[in-house]
Chain A
């Protein structure tokens, strides 16, 4: 019975991991930029929701949309005016640049909001429901559902809309995309905007589940990185599969072996993936 609760916890954590990683995976898969500032964007999303709740009493599930929009605009501008200039440069350069961005955003946030721990705590934040021995916290379940909805929404967006098709075209062959009449620079900026918006949504949820500080982003960048790689880069469902897989592995592992093994398990899986199937669980074998 206890085992069952652990699995539920693992799946819920996995949903949260997926939510964190969708944006990073999209940006990475399409523009080939590993955005080391991804966690900082999640942090900004968390603060957006926190302040909206604290100052205006706006419910976190309502401010999700505001968080998405704010980070969407922020991501668009950052891509257009900063990252765009090095988009064709070596990966090392883009890594350096996004690392610098991460430090910059974190420090500005620290200056503006101090390092004090905060948390978005609506009345229901600790509630949940139980059946039998199993308890399911509402907020975690919501994050899980939101993450699944977002993955499917993204799938439909990429398949059916004009912008979505442009994004897929650019991710597969930039020159051919140009020949179709696609504006590649704009498509990159939109991709970055959507990825950042999704990071904002993740932040909104995370801020209800754990303490918010300007430095909170680092671990999320790392976890998103692992989830994106393990799930399979350039695949739409990769973050979901990778997130659930890692959430389960981490939770089951720390339950049976002890909590101190959690990180060993996560990064062990990363190393194993890179050795056994570098394209990730859903990634294609060839290339």
Chain B
């Protein structure tokens, strides 16, 4: 589904990512773990095209979206099935919840299909339905995250990326979100989830990558990583 090779990226004159190799199989859920400033967001933004990498390649669904002389714009990547629920949610604050979610299907021309998809989102997130006419800026953190995920799902992505799934949210909400991630995964969507809470990360994903100061330092099955002494001391405080 996604294959990243030797990817380097950064901003102006600071390099943030070094030689990243990462893959996600069809239908797989993969977690990306790493401390603050490791470059997790930069990696997701490179994949969706908000950040332009310096070198390397990104292959999505058999199509090169970034490579030598290739850099297709974000909107084209969305059209072929990528989607990102960004860190900080980035909802449109002055629009209603419903307008926000509907905009997720901007690339879809058929209004009826948008409506259908919207109904599905309300089934998946009943709490969001109750708030559908509220301005998005006025929601609680958990509700905002739900709207952000619903919005990202509206384009029927083959790969859904979520940046900071649980950050700042109450444990009850996190449990609900974990359930929803499982549901999304069951429907066949591949997921790449950035998560600082290793317990949460490894409970949604079978496989994970650990990013440290811009390099992948570890990769493997979740159980294996959970039992890894280095992970335990660095992220679990054991």
Contact = CB atoms under 8 A, between A and B. Distances in A.
Nearest to A180: B106
Interface in A177-202: 178-183
Contacts of A179: 48, 50, 74, 78, 83-84, 86, 90, 152
A172 B94 contact: yes
A165 B94 CA distance: 12
A264 interface: no
B155 interface: yes
Contacts of B93: 172-173
A140 interface: no
Nearest to A176: B90
A169 B103 contact: yes
Contact of A165 (B75, B90, B106, B107): B106
A175 B90 contact: yes
A223 interface: no
Interface residues of A, number: 15
Task: Choose among A166, A168, A169, A181 the residue with the greatest number of B CB atoms under 10 Å from its CB.
Answer: A181
B90 A180 contact: no
Contacts of B73: 183
Contacts of A180: 78, 103-104, 106-107, 151, 155
B90 A173 contact: yes
Given A169-B92, A178-B74, A162 B86 contact: no
Given A180-B106, A181-B155, A168 B79 contact: no
A52 to B, nearest CB: 37
B211 to A, nearest CB: 21
Contacts of B91: 173, 176
B61 interface: no
Contacts of B94: 168, 172
A173 B50 contact: no
B21 interface: no
Contact of B103 (A165, A175, A183): A165
A181 B92 contact: no
Contacts of B95: 168-169, 172
Contact of A181 (B50, B86, B99, B107): B107
Contacts of B106: 162, 165-166, 169, 180-182
Contacts of A173: 90-93
A32 B165 CA distance: 32
Nearest to A234: B94
B50 A168 contact: no
B158 to A, nearest CB: 14
B52 to A, nearest CB: 12
A181 B103 CA distance: 9
A120 B104 CA distance: 48
A178 to B, nearest CB: 5
A175 B78 contact: no
18 contacts: A165-B99, A166-B106, A168-B95, A169-B92, A172-B95, A173-B93, A175-B86, A178-B50, A179-B48, A179-B50, A179-B74, A179-B78, A180-B104, A180-B151, A181-B78, A181-B106, A181-B155, A183-B75
Interface of A: 162, 165-166, 168-169, 172-173, 175-176, 178-183
